[in-house]
């Protein structure tokens, strides 16, 4: 078990990482003063699989608990679900001393975090991420919010949790495709900040594709990813500078997700495709060292992730990207790699160049689609993601 501290101005909180991390929740709650009530905002599928364990743990705190179940999937990150959470919590007697617990993947963390930041003008919340993606990215750093039909994460607040509990036991039921999607954010973290972690990710990629990643490797890799994210967030909580680098791959990804109306691609899969595209664009601009794009492409492909979009037109992606909130004074903002481990931000990339590189990129996807399965993944492993 490992504890990493995230320290942003005005708040400092622990991230517990490893099997059995849930046991840390009770002593932590006691040490900071018990909440009046606990409201668990849970992914309905996760609640079915692991809810008894969390419920038993919370029972031992002996404070009233209410559960609000949310259907799995990105489409739950919407204003009507938020409205349901607000109103159910109010009807169930939430007060300013209550604690919200986000129990699920990134969708739940973002939704519950936003509910915590807005209900009664703010109550405390704890993140219990149950997907790899939420562990290595979404649960740390205080970004919360919902999507609009116009685009991803367009409404939200920054609100740091009081603690993040990453218990690997919850990953046991994670579908392999979702484990691989989370792995894409690990690849991202390594690519932007740490050549050593990137090399480790390359070595472990075949094990991820085969559903054979050892818990020991996972612990090392998640630990390092969280350390990197914590250091970036500590330096720039509100994304006015350094934190933008965490959006590597996300400019195209958010366009792809909006163009597909959040249906066919998992977020991590869209980020995988977006990273290859950003590396290609960077090479075209002469910012990214030659060969980096193919290294990114190879590690993602070896991990069983899709690397080209399918079934979506350049025009719809380009139009969805125009609504992205990641814009600088001179246009859409791109996070580019100079090399593995170092980044550069560009907001004056000509739309004509983006369109040209995108059309070429899409045509490569069309030629290789015969080799992909219906999810877009290259290696259709049905085994569990961990051993
Ligand atoms: N997911 C990117 C960030 O937390 O800034």
Answer for the pair 180, 303: CB distance below 8 angstroms, yes or no: yes
Residue 108 and residue 70 in contact, taking contact as beta carbons nearer than 8 Å: yes
Q: How far is the CA of 114 from the centre of ligand 1 (A)?
A: 15
Give pLDDT, residue 367: 66
Mutational pocket test of ligand 1: of 127, 152, 243, 345, the residue with most ligand atoms within 8 Å of the beta carbon: 243
In terms of C-beta distances under 8 Å and separation of at least 24 residues, what long-range contacts does 45-53 make, across chains too? 45/72, 46/72, 46/103, 46/104, 46/105, 46/108, 46/130, 46/170, 47/103, 49/173, 50/103, 50/130, 50/169, 50/170, 50/173, 51/103, 53/22, 53/169
Whole-angstrom distance, CA of residue 147 vs CA of residue 149: 7
Question: Would you call 70 helix, strand, or coil by DSSP?
Answer: strand
Sign of CA dihedral 252, 254, 259, 264: positive
Q: Minimal CA–CA distance to 130: which of 67, 172, 185?
A: 172
Q: Would residue 280 show up in a list of annotated catalytic residues for this protein?
A: no
Whether 185 is catalytic is: yes
CA angle, 142 then 143 then 144, to 5°: 110
In the residue annotation, 220 being an active-site residue is answered as no
Residues framing ligand 1 (Cβ under 6 A): 137, 141, 143, 243, 246
What average pLDDT does the segment 340-355 reach?
Answer: 95
Q: What is the pLDDT of residues 286-318, one digit of tens each?
A: 999 999 999 999 999 999 999 999 888 999 999
Residue 104 φ/ψ, nearest 5 degrees:
160, -155
Annotated catalytic residue: which of 202, 220, 239, 284? 239
| 265 close to 180: Cβ distance less than 8 angstroms | no
**345: β partners:** 335
- Tens digit of pLDDT for each residue in 39-49? 999 999 999 99
Q: Is 308 a catalytic residue?
A: no
* pLDDT tops 50 at residue 185: yes
Nearest CA to ligand 1 atom 3: 246
Residue 50 known to be catalytic? no
Split at pLDDT 50, 70, 90, the class of 387 is: low
Q: Give catalytic status of residue 96 as yes or no.
A: no
Nearest CA to ligand 1 atom 2: 246
pTM of the model: 0.91
Q: Residue 153's pLDDT band (boundaries 50, 70, 90)?
A: confident
Q: What pLDDT is attached to residue 258?
A: 81
What is the percentage of the chain residues whose pLDDT exceeds 70? 94
SS3 content of the chain, % helix, strand, coil (to 5): 50, 20, 30
User: What number is the average pLDDT over the span 78-99?
Assistant: 98
- pLDDT for 375: 42
* Cβ atoms of residues 50 and 173 within 8 Å: yes
Catalytic choice (45, 143, 193, 326): 143
Catalytic site residue from 50, 180, 229, 326? 229
**Beta-sheet strands, E only, within 105-243:** 124-129, 146-148, 151-155, 163-166
**Nearest 10 degrees: Cα torsion 322, 323, 326, 329:** 60
254 is catalytic: yes
The backbone torsions φ and ψ at residue 168, rounded to the nearest 5 degrees and listed phi first, read -65, -20
Residue among 107, 132, 136, 137 whose CB has most ligand 1 atoms within 8 A, to mutate: 137
Ligand 1 centroid from CA 348, angstroms: 22
Which atom of ligand 1 lies nearest, measured to the CA of 138? 1
The Cα 233–Cα 315 span in angstroms is 34
According to the model, what pLDDT value does residue 260 have?
73
Q: Residue 212 — φ and ψ, nearest 5°?
A: -120, 20
Catalytic residue among 267, 280, 308, 326: 267
- The residue ranking higher by pLDDT, 380 or 118, is 118
């Amino acid at each position: 078990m490992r504890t990493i501290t995230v320290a942003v101005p005005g708040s400092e909180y622990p991230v517990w990482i490893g099997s059995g991390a849930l046991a840390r929740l009770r002593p932590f709650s006691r040490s900071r003063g018990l909440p009046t009530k606990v409201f668990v905002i849970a992914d309905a599928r996760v609640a079915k699989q692991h809810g008894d364990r969390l419920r038993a743990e919370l029972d031992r705190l002996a404070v009233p608990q209410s559960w609000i179940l949310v259907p799995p999937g990105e489409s739950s990150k919407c204003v009507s679900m938020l409205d349901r959470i607000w109103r159910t919590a109010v009807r169930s007697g939430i007060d300013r001393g209550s604690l919200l617990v986000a129990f699920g993947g990134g969708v739940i963390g973002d939704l519950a975090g936003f509910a915590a930041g807005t209900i009664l003008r703010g109550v405390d919340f704890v993140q219990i991420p149950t997907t790899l993606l939420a562990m290595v990215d979404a649960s740390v750093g205080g970004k919360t919010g919902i999507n609009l039909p116009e685009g991803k994460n367009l409404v939200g607040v920054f609100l740091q949790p009081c603690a993040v509990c990453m218990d690997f036991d919850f990953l046991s039921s994670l579908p392999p495709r979702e484990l691989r999607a989370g792995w894409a954010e690990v690849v991202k973290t390594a690519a932007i900040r740490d050549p050593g972690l990137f090399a480790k990710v390359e070595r472990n990629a075949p094990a991820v594709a085969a559903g054979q990643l050892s818990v020991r490797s996972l612990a090392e890799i998640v630990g390092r990813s969280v350390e990197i994210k914590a250091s970036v967030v500590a330096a720039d909580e509100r994304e006015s500078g350094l934190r933008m680098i965490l959006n590597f791959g996300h400019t195209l990804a958010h366009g792809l997700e909006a163009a597909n109306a959040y249906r066919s691609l998992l977020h991590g899969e869209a980020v995988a495709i977006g990273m290859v595209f950003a590396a290609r664009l960077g090479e075209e601009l002469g910012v990214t060292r030659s060969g980096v794009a193919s290294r990114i492409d190879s590690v993602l492909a070896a991990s069983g992730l899709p690397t080209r979009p399918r079934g979506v037109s350049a025009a719809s992606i380009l139009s969805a990207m125009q609504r992205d909130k990641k814009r600088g004074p001179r246009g859409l903002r791109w996070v580019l790699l100079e090399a593995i481990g170092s980044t550069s931000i560009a907001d004056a990339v000509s739309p004509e160049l983006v369109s040209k590189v995108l059309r070429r990129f899409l045509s490569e996807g069309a030629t290789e689609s015969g080799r992909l399965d219906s999810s877009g993944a290259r290696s259709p492993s049905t085994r569990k993601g961990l051993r």
